[in-house]
Amino acid sequence: MAHARYLDRPAPAWIRALLGALALVAALYAVLLAGGAEAVGLPLDPHSWWPVGALALGASLACAARAATERDERVVWALLAGATLCSGTAFILWAALYENDALPPYPSLADAFWIPFYFLVFAALGALMRAERPHLAPVAWLDALIPACAVSAVASQLLLPHVATAGKPLAEQVTLLAYPALDVLLVVVTFLVLALRRWEPDARWGLLTAAVLGSALGDVLWSYLVAAGTHEEGGAADLPYVLTFAAIGWAAWAPRGAAIARDDDRLTLVLPAVAAACAVGLLLYGAITAELIVPALVLAVAALGAGVVRWWLALKREAQAVILREVAAELERKADQQAAVADLGRRAIASGDVDQLMGLATEVVASILGAERVAVLELAPGGRELVLRADSGAAGGVELEPLGLAALTAGRPTVMTPNALCARIERKDGVWGVIAVVHRRSRDFVEDDVSFVQAVANVLGALVARAREEQLEAQLQQSRRLESVGKLAGGVAHDFNNLLAVILNYADFALEAATDEGQRRDLEELSKAATRGAELVRQLLAFSRRRPVDAVAVDLTEVVRDMEPMLRRTIGEDIELRCWLASELPPTVIDPAQVTQVLVNLAVNARDAMPGRGRLTIEATKVEAGVRLAVDDTGQGMSEETLAKAFDPFYTTKPPGSGTGLGLATVYGIVAQAGGTIAIDSAPGRGTRVAIELPCREPAYALRPAAGTATPGR
C-alpha cells in the first residue's frame, strides 16, 4: 500500500491500494520487459500490450477519482482521466485486433483513440496551469506556444527524416511521423509551463513531466522500430509507456506544492523572438532544399504566425503603455501644480511676508516647469519700467523687463514668446506686475502649464492686494491716531500759545524797566524759556495742522542749497554732509519754513543716530509724479518695532530730556498737509533712509492763515 506521506491527505484507502497495485504491476511488468523472466528462467511472455492497457486504465481510474473529489482542479483530472482512458483503450484494441497480425494496418482503429490522448494532455496541462495561476496573462500562453512550435518543428525535421518511410503509403508515413512530432510538441509545452511556474516544480509537476518524457521516448522508439520493420509488442522499447501511466496515476494524488509568487506573468520576449527566428530559418531551409517534411512545415508556419501575432500585440501593448505613461505623467504634473498653487495659497493666508512668498513662488514654478529662470517684476509708478522683486536664477541671458512690458501692453492675461511665458499679476486697482518664466522651449508648454502660471500669478495678485489693503489700513489707523492726538495737542497749544504771548510781552516790558543787572539776567532767562516754549507750541500747531502756512511754489534745490551751511553747523564737523541736487526741478507748492523744519528735524535725528563719525546724504530728484527729497544716514538704524512706531507722537528712543518725540510726527504732518507721501527704510546697523515725495500741483488746503490762531511773541 502506498505510504501516506507521498499522497495528498484526502486520498481514501482504496485509492492508496489502487496506486500501490499500480506501482507494483508497473514494476513487475518493467522487469519482464527488461528480460527479467528469461534471466531467472520463468516461462513468462511479456510480448503483449494488454498490461500497458491495464496500467493506463488504472491511471484513468485514479484520475477520475481525483476529479470527483477535487473541486478546484476537477477539469484537469477529468481531462487526464479521459486521456489515459483513450490511450488504454487504444492499447487494448491493438492487442485484441492486431497483436498477431504480421502486417498491421497504419493507421488503424487504435489510432483513433491514441491521437486524442495528446490533445487531452495538452488541455489538461493548460487547465492545471490556469488553476494554479488564474491571473496568468494571455500573452504568456502565446509566449509559450511560439517556442513550442518552433522547437518541435526543428526537432521533427532533425529526427523524423531518419525514420525509414520511403516507399510506404502516405497514410502510413503520416502515422509514423505524427506521433513523434506530437510528443516533441508536448515535451516543449511541458517545459515552457515549468518556465511559467518559475522553474519551481512540485511533486505533481515532476511526475507529469516524467510521464510526458516517457510518452515521447516511447513514441520515438516505436516510430523508428516500425519503420525499420523490427518492432515487437512487449519489448524493452515499451518501458517508457509503463513509466507514463504509472506517473500519471500517482500525479493525480500527489500533494500540492507551495503557491507561486505572482510578480510577473509574462515571459521575456527574447525566447519567443529567438524561436520565431528559428522557424523562419527552418522555412528558408525548406525553400532552398525542398526537404522540409510536412509536420515540420506546419509547426514552423504555426510558430511564425504566432510570432507575428505576438509582435503585433507587443507593439500594441507598448503603444498603450506609452500613452498611459504620458497620461500618468501629465496627471502627476497637474497634481503637483495644483498642490503647489494650494500650498502657496495657504502660505499667503498664514504669512504676510510678501518678498518671501514671491521668492518661494519663483522657485516652485521653476522646479515644476523645469524653467531656466522665473522672476516676479513689479510695475513702477508711471507704468514705464519694471522693478525686479524675486528671481529664481542668476541674472543674465534673456532681458526680463522688455518681456514683461510687452506682456503688459498685449492686453491678455498670459503672453507666450519662443523663449518665455509671462502672466500678468493684477490687483483690484489695476495691474501690479508680471511673473516671467524663461524656458528654451516655451512653445512646448501645454494649456495646463499656462493655467498653472496664471494661477500662481493670481495667488501673487491676491497677496499683494492684501498687503496693500493692510498698508492702507495701517496708514488709516496712523492718520486717525495722529488726528486725535493733533486735535488734543492743537487745543492745548492754542491756549498755551496765548499764555506764552502774554508772558513774552510782560517779560519784554520788565526788561525795558529793569535797572538791576541781576534782574535783567533773570528776565532774559525767563524770555528764553518762553521762546523755547513758543517753538514747542509751533511744532505742536504744525503737527495738528492748525498753524497757518504760507504755501508758495518753491524749488527744493534752492531751499536745500540755502540751508546747507546751517545744516553743517547743526550736525557738527564729525559728520560729512553730501548734497546731490538736480539742476532743474519742477516747483512744488509748500511753505518754505516747513521745508526748513523737515530738513532740520531729519538732520538732527540723523546726527543723534551717528554719535561718532558718519555721513549724511540729501538728494533732491525728479520723479514721475513730482519731486523726491531723500535723506540718508549711516547711523545705527532702527529695528522693526521702532520703525513701526516712528511716526507716533511723543515716541522717542532718546534719553529723557533729549527729545520731545514730535520730530518725525511733525515731518509726517507737514508732508501729509502738502499732499505728499513719506517712507522710511531702515535696519539695525544699516542706517536709515527717509524718502519724501511731493506733488507738483496746487495743494488741497487753503493758503490763508487759519482764524483764531495765535502767534508767539505778539
pLDDT digits (tens, 9 = 90+) for 520-573: 777 777 877 777 677 666 666 655 554 455 677 888 888 888 888 888 888 888
Residue 714: is its pLDDT beyond 60? no
Write the pLDDT tens digit of every residue in 54-66.
999 999 999 999 9
What is the strand order of the sheet 420-427 is part of? Answer: 386-391, 373-379, 430-438, 420-427, 414-417
| Mean pLDDT of all residues in 278-288 | 81
Q: pLDDT tier at 85 (50, 70, 90 boundaries)?
A: very high
Cell readout for 146 is: 511560439
Work out the percent of the chain whose per-residue pLDDT is above 90: 7
Measured distance CA(152)–CA(219) in Å, rounded: 14
- At residue 9, the 3 state secondary structure works out as coil
What's the confidence (pLDDT) of residue 706? 31
Classify burial at 364, counting beta carbons within 10 Å of its beta carbon; exposed 0-12, middle 13-18, buried 19 or more. Answer: buried
What's the confidence (pLDDT) of residue 167? 60
The verdict on whether omega for the bond into residue 413 sits within 30 degrees of 0, i.e. cis, is no
Q: Which of 138-142, 185-189, 249-253, 710-714 is predicted least confidently?
A: 710-714
Q: Which of 239-248, 462-471, 481-490, 671-680 is predicted least confidently?
A: 481-490
Cell readout for 672 is: 501729509
Q: pLDDT tier at 397 (50, 70, 90 boundaries)?
A: low
More confident site: 118 or 395? 118
Taking Cα atoms as reference points, which of 484, 389, 48, 104 lies closest to residue 233?
48
Q: pLDDT tier at 84 (50, 70, 90 boundaries)?
A: very high
3-state secondary structure 171-218: HHHHHHHHHHHHHHHHHHHHHHHHHHCCCCCCHHHHHHHHHHHHHHHH
- At residue 614, the 3 state secondary structure works out as strand
Residue 712: is its pLDDT beyond 50? no
| Mean pLDDT of all residues in 345-372 | 81
146 in Cβ contact with 310 (< 8 Å): yes
Work out the percent of the chain whose per-residue pLDDT is above 70: 80
Q: Is the whole model's pTM more than 0.75, yes or no?
A: no
What's the confidence (pLDDT) of residue 88? 92
539 in Cβ contact with 660 (< 8 Å): yes
Measured distance CA(427)–CA(448) in Å, rounded: 23
Give bridge partners of residue 693 from the DSSP assignment.
Answer: 628, 677
Residue 347: is its pLDDT beyond 70? yes
Write the pLDDT tens digit of every residue in 569-588.
888 888 888 898 888 888 88
Q: pLDDT tier at 449 (50, 70, 90 boundaries)?
A: confident
Cα-flanking dihedrals φ and ψ of residue 420, to 5°?
-160, 160
What's the confidence (pLDDT) of residue 1? 42
Q: pLDDT tier at 702 (50, 70, 90 boundaries)?
A: very low
Q: pLDDT tier at 701 (50, 70, 90 boundaries)?
A: very low
Cα-flanking dihedrals φ and ψ of residue 206, to 5°?
-65, -45
Residue partners of 110: CB distance under 8 A and separation at least 6: 90, 91, 93, 94, 97, 98
Taking Cα atoms as reference points, which of 375, 379, 415 lies closest to residue 398?
375
Torsion sign across C-alpha atoms 304, 308, 309, 313: positive
Q: pLDDT tier at 328 (50, 70, 90 boundaries)?
A: confident
Taking Cα atoms as reference points, which of 552, 643, 579, 641 lies closest to residue 605?
643
More confident site: 255 or 61? 61
Measured distance CA(452)–CA(187) in Å, rounded: 60
Q: pLDDT tier at 255 (50, 70, 90 boundaries)?
A: confident
CB-CB neighbours of 124 under 10 Å: 23
What's the confidence (pLDDT) of residue 699? 42
Taking Cα atoms as reference points, which of 322, 320, 287, 319 lies closest to residue 301?
287
- Choose from 81-85, 313-317, 572-576 the range with maximum mean pLDDT: 81-85
Measured torsion, CA atoms of residues 476, 480, 485, 488, in degrees rounded to the nearest 10? 150
Residue 42: is its pLDDT beyond 80? no
| Mean pLDDT of all residues in 681-706 | 70
Q: pLDDT tier at 708 (50, 70, 90 boundaries)?
A: very low
CATH of domain 336-464: 3.30.450.40
The stretches of 229-353 forming alpha helices (DSSP H) are: 239-252, 270-289, 294-350
What's the confidence (pLDDT) of residue 453? 84
Amino acid present at 558 = E
Instruction: Give the helix/strand (H/E) hosting 696.
Output: none
Write the pLDDT tens digit of every residue in 143-196.
777 777 787 777 777 766 655 555 667 777 777 777 777 777 777 777 667 666
Residue 339: is its pLDDT beyond 80? yes
- Choose from 62-71, 416-425, 431-440, 656-665 the range with maximum mean pLDDT: 62-71
More confident site: 140 or 73? 73
Q: Average per-residue pLDDT in the chain?
A: 77
The answer regarding whether domain 552-695 maps to CATH 3.30.565.10 reads yes
Q: Where are the domains of the chain?
A: 4-143+178-259, 336-464, 552-695
Angle between helices 354-369 and 294-350 (to 10 degrees): 170
Instruction: Give the helix/strand (H/E) hosting 578.
Output: strand 575-581
Question: CA 661, 662, 666: angle at the middle one, nearest 5?
Answer: 155
- How far does the chain reach from its first CA to its final CA, in angstroms? 140
What's the confidence (pLDDT) of residue 508? 80
- Choose from 123-132, 474-483, 487-496 the range with maximum mean pLDDT: 123-132
Measured distance CA(450)–CA(414) in Å, rounded: 8
435 in Cβ contact with 365 (< 8 Å): yes
What's the confidence (pLDDT) of residue 4? 45
Q: pLDDT tier at 491 (50, 70, 90 boundaries)?
A: low
Q: pLDDT tier at 485 (50, 70, 90 boundaries)?
A: low
Q: pLDDT tier at 329 (50, 70, 90 boundaries)?
A: confident
417 in Cβ contact with 333 (< 8 Å): no
Measured distance CA(429)–CA(382) in Å, rounded: 14
